[in-house]
């Protein structure tokens, strides 16, 4: 490119990078996913390096807490879409760039495989595993190179991903999210995080989408007259003041009921611990403050101070009143750590519950970090990682992807170096995403429902977006925007069934298809009803477990011969249950593929 006129700004780039690489940079079409800490630094680097054709996707809006490290944003931008403001700010560095901003969710169907195919390179600047897995699968499906990145405090890492050349994001197992036994959360919390999780569930129960609320507590069966009298008193004030009703219900009645159950059954529900103390709203002055003023520094910010019991009670009443008013206007809400009313509710509710169970109360700042799963971020770390992303992109654009390195930024020098690099690993042959497409699921098929399989495992643990479940040629479950109202109702009924009622039993192989990710997976089911860890209900293994050999009966030799020719034949010992009919879209897909799959054979 001639370095004259408006292109004079690129003279130094042509001189340092060479004409061939610079032309590749100018012609490359880049997708950048995420416009937060890493994204702001990365977008600035891209436009200053001469990248011309860039698209950005981010679902978030700008919050005050972003301004200390996301330098493309200012106070006047609070509440505005990150992607749009990042675009406008980056254009000041290089008005010649062509940037298209999308304010939306990368998991939306419009950002599917066809959308990804048009890009030369994808750069991830995300802050959650779920979205990373989704982008990884789309890049694997479309064979688009991906540069993955992450930071946490002083630590950072980048990784280049290319199908068939180097390992993908899911080739190595990621730490499973920490889970807690449901009975601990609801009945015997011992840590602040237990109370925070409980408070978030209560927020969704009273102000969220009821159909998305999972594991709502079933009311204990108790016929005690004293409890009934207290219930009647509290129910009487519901119409007059919902906030006062909810306070009395959560922090007095529910605790009082548990104490009465313990007394009537003569069971110690809290062994080795103090019995919880219910809180009465009109007698707050009788309780200990629940805080030590010496823990609050005069210089500390309000959000970092520990509130008294009365302050938490007042905050709870105020937040409930605000949320009730908002719900009447806008409908159901999701918990958002940056929503002041939602965070105030969770802060106050978790601290009040902590007081009841003699657990140290927390500051609003600490609760925001725990409730929002916030990872500490440092601007310098983001800048280093963003720079490394651009360096690795040069190797890809030079068609030298084999020279790409995985680079780790350390907190402390090792052999005098903060940056350590190594050759990228080859794909893991057992990876269920880019290689084997096969995993084993251990679970109790008589207890687990199809809904838990979909929400907790396929979406929650395996990062799928719109999964459909097939056993042989029968579709047991499907999801997606194309389902009509009747189909949605049928799927809801289907979700309540136990796996065994859906013919998913020990030895069954189920096929999962996620059209939005262009991703297919087979899952081998192993029935198991006891696990080593408390609260564990399933286990996922990244490689298929051999199916148990069925006992042959007369006439089965021919069936075995057919099975050797057609590996999609499966023998199950469950009774046949008619599955729901596929949607119109799914029918069309089966016709288009002309799928010839064998029927399930049921042996007596």
What are 428-447's pLDDT values in tens digits?
988 888 887 888 999 999 99
Active-site residues, by number, are 183
Q: Identify the band that residue 222 occupies on the pLDDT scale cut at 50, 70 and 90.
A: low
Q: Which of 114, 247, 269, 260 is nearest to 184 (CA)?
A: 269
Q: Identify the band that residue 281 occupies on the pLDDT scale cut at 50, 70 and 90.
A: confident
Quote the pLDDT of residue 358: 92
Residue 159 has pLDDT above 90, yes or no: yes
Quote the pLDDT of residue 5: 45
Contact present, 84 and 103 (Cβ < 8 Å): yes
Quote the pLDDT of residue 600: 30
Taking residue 575's Cβ as centre, other Cβ atoms within 10 Å add up to 9
pLDDT digits (tens, 9 = 90+) for 78-109: 889 999 999 999 999 999 999 999 999 998 88
- Known binding-site residue numbers for Zn(2+): 168, 171, 431, 434
> What is the maximum span of the chain, computed from C-alpha positions, in angstroms?
90
Quote the pLDDT of residue 67: 87
Residue 215 has pLDDT above 70, yes or no: no
Q: How far apart are CA 534 and CA 185, in angstroms?
A: 13
Quote the pLDDT of residue 85: 96
Nearby residues of 192 by Cβ (< 8 Å), 6 or more positions away: 350, 354, 359, 360, 361, 362, 366, 367, 370
Average pLDDT over residues 256-272: 83
Q: How far apart are CA 476 and CA 439, in angstroms?
A: 19
Q: Identify the band that residue 593 occupies on the pLDDT scale cut at 50, 70 and 90.
A: very low
Q: How far apart are CA 409 and CA 227, in angstroms?
A: 59
Quote the pLDDT of residue 545: 43
Average pLDDT over residues 210-217: 46
Quote the pLDDT of residue 336: 86
Q: Identify the band that residue 295 occupies on the pLDDT scale cut at 50, 70 and 90.
A: low
Is 441 in a helix, a strand, or coil? Answer: strand
Average pLDDT over residues 456-465: 88
- Average pLDDT score, the chain: 82
Q: Identify the band that residue 288 occupies on the pLDDT scale cut at 50, 70 and 90.
A: low
Residue 502 belongs to what H/E stretch? none
Contact present, 141 and 518 (Cβ < 8 Å): yes
Average pLDDT over residues 182-199: 88
Residue 478 has pLDDT above 80, yes or no: yes
Quote the pLDDT of residue 578: 40
pLDDT digits (tens, 9 = 90+) for 6-65: 468 889 999 999 999 999 999 999 999 999 999 999 999 999 999 999 999 999 888 877
Average pLDDT over residues 216-229: 63
- Known binding-site residue numbers: 34-39, 58, 66-69, 82, 127-132, 168, 171, 431, 434
Residue 181 has pLDDT above 80, yes or no: no
Q: What percent of the chain has pLDDT over 90?
A: 48
Quote the pLDDT of residue 129: 85
Quote the pLDDT of residue 375: 64
Residue 464 has pLDDT above 80, yes or no: yes
Average pLDDT over residues 552-570: 32
- Known binding-site residue numbers for ATP: 34-39, 58, 66-69, 82, 127-132
Q: How far apart are CA 312 and CA 291, in angstroms?
A: 11
Q: Identify the band that residue 294 occupies on the pLDDT scale cut at 50, 70 and 90.
A: very low
* Residue ranges of domains in the chain, CATH in brackets: 5-153+376-403 (3.40.50.720), 182-371 (1.10.10.520), 438-602 (3.10.290.20)
CA 2 from centroid of its chain's CA atoms: 47
Listed range (88-102, 144-158, 391-405, 516-530) with the worst mean pLDDT = 516-530
pLDDT digits (tens, 9 = 90+) for 56-82: 999 988 887 788 889 999 999 988 999
Residue 406 has pLDDT above 50, yes or no: yes
Q: How far apart are CA 495 and CA 187, in angstroms?
A: 27
Better-scored residue on pLDDT, 600 or 186: 186
Quote the pLDDT of residue 541: 79
């Amino acid at each position: 490119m001639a370095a004259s006129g408006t292109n004079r700004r690129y003279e130094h780039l042509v001189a340092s990078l060479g004409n061939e690489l610079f032309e590749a940079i100018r012609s490359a079409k880049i997708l950048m996913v995420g416009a937060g800490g890493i994204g702001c630094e990365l977008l600035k680097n891209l436009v200053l390096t001469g990248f011309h054709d860039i698209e950005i996707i981010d679902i978030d809006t700008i919050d005050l807490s972003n301004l200390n490290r996301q330098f493309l944003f200012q106070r006047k931008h609070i509440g505005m879409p990150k992607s749009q403001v990042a675009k406008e700010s980056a254009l000041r560095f290089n008005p010649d760039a062509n940037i298209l901003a999308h304010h939306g969710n990368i998991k939306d169907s419009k950002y599917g495989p066809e959308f990804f195919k048009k890009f030369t390179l994808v750069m991830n600047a995300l802050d959650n595993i779920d979205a990373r897995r989704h982008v990884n699968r789309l890049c694997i499906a479309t064979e688009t190179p991906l540069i993955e990145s992450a930071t946490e405090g002083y630590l950072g890492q980048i990784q280049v991903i290319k199908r068939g050349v180097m390992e993908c994001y899911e080739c190595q197992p990621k730490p499973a999210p920490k889970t807690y036994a449901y009975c601990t959360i609801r009945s015997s919390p011992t840590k602040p995080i237990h109370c925070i999780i409980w408070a978030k569930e209560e927020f969704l129960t009273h102000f969220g989408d009821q159909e998305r609320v999972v594991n709502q507590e079933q009311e204990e069966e108790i016929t005690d007259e004293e409890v009934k009298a207290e219930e009647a008193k509290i129910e009487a004030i519901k119409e007059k003041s919902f906030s006062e009703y909810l306070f009395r219900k959560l922090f007095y009645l529910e605790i009082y009921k548990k104490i009465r159950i313990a007394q009537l059954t003569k069971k110690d529900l809290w062994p080795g611990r103090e019995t919880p103390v219910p809180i009465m709203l009109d007698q707050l002055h009788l309780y200990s403050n629940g805080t030590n003023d010496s823990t609050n520094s005069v210089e500390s910010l309000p959000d970092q101070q520990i509130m008294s019991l009365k302050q938490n009670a007042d905050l709870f009443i105020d937040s409930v009143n605000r949320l009730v008013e908002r719900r009447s206007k806008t409908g159901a809400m999701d918990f958002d750590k940056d929503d002041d009313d939602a965070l105030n509710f969770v802060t106050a509710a978790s601290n009040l519950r902590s007081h009841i169970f003699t657990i140290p109360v927390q500051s609003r700042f600490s609760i925001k970090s725990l409730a929002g799963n916030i990872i500490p971020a440092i601007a310098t770390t983001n800048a280093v990682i963003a720079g490394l992303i651009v360096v690795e992109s040069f190797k890809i654009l030079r068609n030298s992807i084999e020279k790409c390195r995985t680079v780790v930024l350390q907190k402390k020098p090792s052999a005098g170096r903060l940056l350590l690099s190594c050759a990228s690993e080859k794909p893991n042959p057992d990876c269920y995403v880019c290689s084997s497409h096969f995993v084993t699921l251990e679970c109790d098929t008589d207890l687990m429902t199809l809904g838990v399989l979909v929400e907790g495992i396929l979406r929650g643990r395996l990062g799928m977006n719109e999964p459909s479940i097939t056993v042989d040629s029968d579709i047991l479950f499907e999801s997606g925007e194309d389902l009509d109202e009747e189909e949605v109702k049928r799927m809801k009924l289907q979700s309540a069934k136990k796996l065994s009622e859906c013919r998913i039993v020990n030895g069954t192989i189920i096929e999962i298809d996620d059209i939005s990710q262009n991703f297919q997976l087979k899952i081998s089911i192993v029935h198991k009803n006891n696990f080593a860890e408390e609260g564990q209900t399933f286990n996922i293994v990244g490689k298929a477990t051999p199916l148990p050999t069925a006992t042959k009966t007369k006439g089965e030799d021919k069936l075995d011969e057919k099975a050797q020719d057609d590996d999609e034949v499966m023998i199950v010992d469950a009774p046949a249950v008619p599955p729901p009919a596929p949607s119109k879209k799914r029918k069309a897909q089966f016709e288009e593929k002309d799928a010839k799959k064998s029927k399930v054979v049921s042996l007596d």
